[in-house]
Amino acid sequence: MNKQDLYQHVADILHKSFEVDTTLITPDARLREDLDIDSIDAVELIVQLKPLLGGNLKPEAFKSVHTVSDVVDALHGMIQAAADTSAGV
């Protein structure tokens, strides 16, 4: 899954699960300040993203996440690491 696909998936979750207006969801949108995603919502977002990684999601990777783009980058990094591990890299 490429970053654009991940971004669309995250945006869909933000809109459908947290009722965030799609016009507010941009790569630079800050989760807390711009999208009103609090810590409880953030945990729910992580739970909903877990299937993308086959349950191998590392919550600590999200400690420094502040924007939608940060979420996408963290997910993409975990997917790449999982692929590298599977390939024996």
CATH number at residue 45: 1.10.1200.10
Q: Which residue has the tokens 């971004």?
A: 7
Ranges of residues in the chain with a pLDDT under 50 are none
Tally of CB atoms within 10 A around 2: 10
Provide the token pair at 44: 């729910």
Radius of gyration in angstroms for the set of CA atoms belonging to the chain, rounded to a whole number: 13
Predicted local distance difference test score (pLDDT) of residue 57 = 74
pLDDT at 83: 74
Task: Encode pLDDT of 48-69 as tens digits.
Answer: 988 887 767 777 778 889 999 9
Total domains present in the chain: 1
Angle at 33 between CA 28 and CA 35, to 5 degrees: 70
* Phi/psi at 77 (5° precision): -60, -40
Range of the domain at 56: 3-87
Query: How much is the pLDDT for 86?
Result: 66
